[in-house]
Amino acid sequence: MKLRTTFTIPPSPEKITYHTPVFFLGSCFATSIGKLMELGCLPVMINPFGTVFNPVSVCNTLSAVIQRKRFNSGDLYKTGEKWISFSHYTEFTSGNADSLLKRINDNIEQAHDFLSGSKFLFVTFGTAWVYSFNKTGEIVSNCHKIPQSEFSRRMVSVNEITDIWSAQLEVINSSFPDLKVIFTISPVRHWKEGAHGNQISKSVLLLAVEELQRHPSKPGYFPAYELVMDDLRDYRFYDTDMLHLSDTATEYIWNEFAKCYIDGNALNIYSEVLKISKAALHRLRPDSSHPEKFAEEMIERINNVQAKYPFLDLDAQRQYFADLLK
């Protein structure tokens, strides 16, 4: 008896290895997959401006990175006692404008350098709804809890998305000809717009990405949205808010992603590193018996793995276990 629909994702001819840096940009789904790559010490950069949900802001973020934009005081906005940037997520706030600008501009420099050596760029769109700050007309990445009356809301069209991203793909093809762009649509639901609003939004994104597949640079598409909507298709795979994905769903999508894009040898290395990283994330209770023995065993494992794969950077994991011996 068949109880669910499944589909096969063709393997990508281009593969991710430990020598192919990968850049993730967009919604929280991009962060989730990027963090899983990070756990296995694969070379990755994730959202240098923080999480970005709509395709206009994602495009603006990428433009800033490519052009090495220098933010100045005119790009910041003061709300209460804090300075913010409408181009960035909520963690980019500070009581001091100069320190915030330094952090933003340092991140852009690092992101530009990383993108210059990257082989893959995964772009995830979360919603077609955008918010514009009334005082400037600027489409913002985040409203930073400023009253909604100060913003105008609308849904961008398929044509708007394809126009700005077709131009962006031309820039990428010219500046980074070896960079493979892959689009995804986030399966996370944006319930603030309501059930119908969320569905229309996702439809706009899907149509826009379908049109972008016809661009001469031949960007790819990974069906994360379809894996949830047409394969898993069950509230068991959502978190308690019924909007975000559960860990089980994220792991399922990760496994499909890995089969599609990650080289087999790299996956073998990943599985070894993942055990070490997860052990380092595990916090021992104060009354745990023999923590020193555990730490010594893990340091020995790290040494063995690094002897086999000298290109790995496991310094943070080694330091964690070394601290347990103090």
Query: Where do the H-state alpha helices sit in 23-153?
Result: 28-39, 55-67, 97-116
CA distances from 167 to 170, 183, 195, 204, 279 (A): 5, 15, 32, 19, 45
Q: What is the pLDDT of residue 286?
A: 59
The tens digit of pLDDT for each residue in 243-261 reads 889 999 999 999 999 999 9
Assign 302 a pLDDT band (cuts: 50, 70, 90).
very high
- Catalogue the E-assigned strands of 134-275: 139-140, 151-155, 180-185, 220-221
Cα–Cα distance for residue pair 111/47, rounded to 1 Å: 9
Lookup: tokens for 145:
């809890």
Q: What is the pLDDT of residue 2?
A: 78
Q: Which stretch of 21-25, 159-163, 281-285 has the lowest confidence by average pLDDT?
A: 281-285
Q: Which stretch of 12-16, 27-31, 115-119 has the lowest confidence by average pLDDT?
A: 27-31
The tens digit of pLDDT for each residue in 44-92 reads 999 999 999 999 999 999 999 999 999 999 999 999 999 999 999 999 9
Cα–Cα distance for residue pair 89/92, rounded to 1 Å: 6
Q: Say if residue 201 is exposed, middle or buried (CB neighbours under 10 Å; 0-12, 13-18, 19+).
A: buried
Cα–Cα distance for residue pair 276/304, rounded to 1 Å: 11
Per-residue pLDDT at 17 exceeds 90:
yes
Choose among 160, 161, 166, 202: nearest CA to 181: 166
What are the domain boundaries of the chain?
A: 22-262, 264-326
Q: What is the pLDDT of residue 164?
A: 99
Per-residue pLDDT at 290 exceeds 80:
no
Cβ within 8 Å of residue 111, ≥6 positions away: 23, 45, 48, 65
Assign 213 a pLDDT band (cuts: 50, 70, 90).
very high
Cα–Cα distance for residue pair 187/209, rounded to 1 Å: 14
The tens digit of pLDDT for each residue in 233-246 reads 888 888 999 888 99
The tens digit of pLDDT for each residue in 167-200 reads 999 999 999 999 999 999 999 998 888 999 999 9
**Mean pLDDT calculated for residue range 11-39:** 96
Q: What is the pLDDT of residue 284?
A: 65
Whole-structure pTM value: 0.94
Per-residue pLDDT at 139 exceeds 80:
yes
**Helices 55-67 + 158-175 axis angle, to 10:** 20
Per-residue pLDDT at 278 exceeds 80:
yes
Collapsing DSSP states into helix, strand and coil, what is residue 91?
coil
Between residues 29 and 263, the one the model is more confident about: 263
Q: What is the pLDDT of residue 157?
A: 98
Per-residue pLDDT at 288 exceeds 80:
no
Cβ within 8 Å of residue 126, ≥6 positions away: 26, 27, 28, 29, 53, 54, 186, 188, 190
Q: What is the pLDDT of residue 326?
A: 78
Q: What is the pLDDT of residue 289?
A: 64
Fold of 22-262: Rossmann fold (3.40.50)
